[in-house]
A and B are shown apart, each in its own frame.
Chain A
C-alpha cells in the first residue's frame, strides 16, 4: 500500500525555527508537494521538490531525499500566522497525488 507519515501535531515558539518531517512509501515517485492549510480554509501551495536537495523560498525551505523516501519543511522566524496544518503530498507512478494526514503546527508567543 501507499503511505505518507507526518507528525500529527507540533508546537513551536514565535520567532523560532521548526522542521516538519514527511516520510513516504509510494509506488513510484514523480515529485513531492507541501501545502499549507489554515483552519477552515482550503489548502494552498507552498513548495515542490522533485530532485534531491533543498529548495528555499523566503522563510520556508523544503528538502527532499528520494533514496530515503524523506522530506522536510523548514519554517524560520516563525510568526503567529504560521499556525496552520502542513500537508505533504507525493505524486506516484500513475501521476496520482497521495496525501499525508497533515501536521498541525501551533505557534505560541
Chain B
C-alpha cells in the first residue's frame, strides 16, 4: 500500500519549458488535489478533482492545467514555466471533504524554474 506517490521528485526547468507532474493514489479516494508550498506561505490549492473526469480551479490556477486520468491518477501540467512557479508541489487525496476525512499527501516535487 504505497499511499500517494508523485513523480518526479526534483526538476529544474528553463523559462518557457513545459512539464507534467504525475500523482497516483491507491486508497480508492474520490478527491485529489494539487497544492504548491512556498516559504512563509500556507499550502495553496491549485486545482482539485472530486471524481474521475472532473476538475475544478482552486486558489491559484493560472499557468497550470490538470487532468484526472482515472480514479487513481491526477496530473498537473505547466505549459510554459515561469520563475514564479518555482515551488514545492504536493499532491493529496481524501475520501471526502467533510468530517474527519484527512488529506493524505505525496512526498512532493521540488521544481526550480530558471
Determine if A60 is an interface residue (Cβ-Cβ < 8 Å). Answer: no
Nearest Cβ on chain A to B31's Cβ, whole angstroms = 10
Contacts of A99 in B (CB 8 A): 42-44
Are A91 and B105 CB-contacts (below 8 A) given A43-B43, A101-B40? Answer: no
Determine if B1 is an interface residue (Cβ-Cβ < 8 Å). Answer: no
How many residues on chain B are close to A (CB under 8 Å)?
18
Determine if A30 is an interface residue (Cβ-Cβ < 8 Å). Answer: yes
**Residue in chain B with minimal CB distance to A49:** B100
Are A87 and B43 CB-contacts (below 8 A) given A33-B102, A48-B100? Answer: yes
Are A30 and B45 CB-contacts (below 8 A) given A42-B90, A42-B106, A42-B108? Answer: no
Quick check: B98 and A30 within 8 Å, CB to CB?
Answer: yes
Quick check: B97 and A42 within 8 Å, CB to CB?
Answer: no
Q: How far is the CA of A31 from the CA of B103 in the complex (A)?
A: 13
Contact digits for A30-73, partner B, Cβ 8 Å, 1 yes 0 no: 11010000000111110010100000000000000000000000
Nearest Cβ on chain A to B93's Cβ, whole angstroms = 12
Are A91 and B100 CB-contacts (below 8 A) given A100-B42, A101-B40, A102-B42? Answer: no
Quick check: A44 and B105 within 8 Å, CB to CB?
Answer: yes
Q: How far is the CA of A8 from the CA of B99 in the complex (A)?
A: 28
Are A50 and B42 CB-contacts (below 8 A) given A42-B106, A43-B105? Answer: no
**A residues engaging B (CB < 8 A)?**
4, 8, 30-31, 33, 41-45, 48, 50, 87, 89, 91, 95-102
- The contact sample of 7 A-B pairs, CB cut-off 8 A, is A31-B100, A41-B108, A91-B97, A95-B97, A100-B42, A101-B41, A102-B42
